[in-house]
Chain A
């Protein structure tokens, strides 16, 4: 694996399988009385959140703590960023403090990539602008594989505001990479013009797609990101694209309903639909911790590509054969 995780394009299909398999073991850790292992003892993980996100930050924080890493939460309000400090100077400060990994969320697409130029440690993208949110995509892939036993050949619909959704981009890239069949559904104004180049289908008729689905993935209507009006009214959106009880009835048996949260109940998903047993939204959250543990472990667990040659040549060979 590469040292950073900025985009789903950083991972090969084999990397994805390794992340999900390792997450499986961390799920087990989460079921123990003592939900903690010493795997990253002595390492420092910084959560650098330029944008509010309680759930992602807590998920990363818990993941790092369950690996016994030291965690520093750095939010922009009340920090020197509000005094005008640049991202570069913040990065150099973290570098000087010996951060081994920086988890960054930023409203500007590409800021995690910028960070990699100034930091020696690993950079994990926890959502950048309208670009990507790879850890969310990986926890969604984990949940799909857990519920349906495979990723290859799955029929997945991603419904809603794809244009502003970094989750939708990362998830589409991940699903296509793993051999799933993806259909993006939404008002034409909310589907990115380059979407067909991702290897996905595009539709604005949700009812035509529902009967063949294995996964129905509802996106949040991101009103805070929409500086202009992309659809006439929320009520119309809910009627045309919302997951109602009637639409759930059109889904095949065994179809899983997912949502990255937080939900606008009554807009993209009806309140009682969100509470159905086939809606696995809470499990996505639980799996998020395990998947983020897996990523932190795999990115920080080695000495990094720079020191590949410094490691003993027989080190890996003896593992499994001997007690080392």
Chain B
């Protein structure tokens, strides 16, 4: 596949190489901050956060030789806008087949925007057990927070207008790696 060229005109914020370098750096930061990966588990927020979590786990395994557990979390049932939408949102799979009690749970998501998804994810993870700590890793932080939430690990900070759409494309689901910004429709 030809890599997407980073031309401001096309609205590409990160290309495949930059995404790879960002996740590698986040993997190093997770290991440094937690002094290794012994008690660390990764929980990716569907969809795409779970694929990023799998990538981070692979990189942690390469760097440290430790295999960390990876789960996928769907926060649909924890959203705070129920009844404000035309239809019930689509539900993705939740798969956390390990105990989070006593672990450092690193939540992984593609884009951090208002913070409402992360609030919902904190509620959801709490229902699975009492984690020692919960940390947050995101590929892109685009600002415009509506809740007091910040990420511990950020791939790239991107100033945006609140009406723009930041879209993360991943090889696993979209066939290519890129972060693009689109004008509102």
Contacts and interface: CB of A to CB of B under 8 A. Distances in A.
Contact of A323 (B94, B117, B129): B117
Nearest to B164: A322
A45 to B, nearest CB: 14
Interface stretch (A151-159, A260-268, A307-315): A307-315
B47 interface: yes
Contacts of B111: 321-323
B7 interface: no
Contacts of A43: 82-83
Nearest to B86: A311
A303 B117 contact: no
Contacts of A28: 93-95
B143 to A, nearest CB: 11
B113 A314 contact: no
B77 A311 contact: no
Interface stretch (A29-37, A90-98, A197-205): A29-37
With most chain B CB atoms within 10 A of its CB, the pick from A24, A37, A67, A307 is A37
A318 interface: yes
A297 B83 CA distance: 10
B115 to A, nearest CB: 7
B166 A39 contact: no
A301 interface: yes
Interface string A1-36: 100000000000000000001101100110011101
Contacts of A315: 85-86
Contacts of A36: 127
Contacts of A208: none
Q: How large is the interface on B (under 10, 10 to 19, 20 to 34, 35 or more residues)?
A: 35 or more
B163 to A, nearest CB: 8
Nearest to A298: B88
Contacts of B118: 323
Question: Majority SS of interface residues in chain B?
Answer: loop
Contacts of A33: 127-129
B114 interface: yes
B165 A25 contact: no
Given A21-B91, A32-B127, A38-B78, A321 B86 contact: no
Given A321-B111, A321-B166, A300 B78 contact: no
Interface residues of A, number: 39
A277 B13 CA distance: 56
B65 interface: no
Interface string B31-71: 00000000000000001100000000000000000000000
Interface in A281-321: 297-298, 300-303, 307-308, 311, 313-321
B148 interface: no
A40 interface: yes
Given A34-B127, A323-B112, A318 B83 contact: no
Nearest to B110: A323
B132 interface: no
Contacts of A303: 83-86
A108 B129 CA distance: 47
Contact of B113 (A298, A311, A323): A323
Interface string B87-100: 11111111100000
A323 B116 contact: yes
A322 B88 contact: no
21 contacts: A25-B76, A25-B91, A25-B92, A25-B93, A28-B95, A29-B77, A34-B128, A37-B124, A39-B76, A39-B79, A298-B88, A302-B86, A302-B88, A307-B86, A311-B84, A311-B86, A315-B85, A319-B90, A322-B166, A322-B167, A324-B114
The 5 closest A-B pairs by CB, nearest first: A301-B88, A37-B77, A323-B113, A39-B77, A302-B87
Given A297-B88, A323-B111, 7 more contacts: A21-B91, A25-B76, A25-B94, A33-B128, A36-B127, A300-B82, A321-B168
